[in-house]
Structure 1
């Protein structure tokens, strides 16, 4: 019998960290707009600083640690991909374009044949 586990943010400390991260994002955005008269350096400093603090706080939570681990695992998988050479990519692109052209001609021919069959032969509607 297989058992499945559902992972959720269960600790109060984790919920507080995520809540604090959200509050920091909101405060950074609000500070950006409230400091409009102080100059762009102050605005952008508050925005970037607040967002950086929010990222750090989120990174310290369990969800943040899982997200970082997921990113590392994803990067490892991307490194395993065997990318095609330039020649292979050009050949495959050529095959796709040729197939699309052949299908377009086939569908156009089928359409015109059915149009001729239905309208000219069966219904007798000559153009």
Structure 2
């Protein structure tokens, strides 16, 4: 049974676009190192142009368009989130710190009790 969340690239034009995008992306890196004798801004521009061209070509493919739609839907969902107020966040943080402190004390008492039972009561070490 196929996994519905995995998207296969079916058409040859999509495959070619993705390959071209990857090649342009890599060309930006190659140009950056190939232009090692040039100024830093020339090398940086070559790198950025290659990366941007690769990303743009990749986004025009079918998987790229699906990614853009997914990103838009995700942004809409994030805008629906009700974030806690400052007071709620502070109270929650204090509860977490209190619980961590209580657990630390409990584990310390447990450790010292087991240590006392084993080393003092059973083995007789001092």
TM-score of the superposed pair, with normalisation by structure 1: 0.89
SS at match of 1:36: coil
Residue 112 and residue 4 in structure 1: after superposition, are their counterparts in 2 closer, same or farther (change >3 A)? closer
Q: Tell me the number of residue pairs that the alignment of Structure 1 and Structure 2 aligns.
A: 124
Mapping for residues 1-127 of structure 1, pairs under 5 Å: 5=4, 7-125=7-125, 127=126
The CA deviation at 1:97 is 0.6
Q: Secondary structure at the match of 2:37?
A: helix
Structure 1 residue 4: Cα displacement = 6.3
State the Cα distance separating 1:49 from its structure 2 match: 1.3
**What is the deviation of 1:86?**
0.5
**Deviation for aligned residue 1:36:** 2.1
C-alpha distance in 2 between matches for 1:59 and 1:98: 48
Alpha-carbon distance between aligned partners in 2 of 1:53 and 1:108, rounded to the nearest angstrom? 58
User: 1:119, 1:88 → 2: CA distance?
Assistant: 46
CA RMSD of aligned residues (A): 1.6
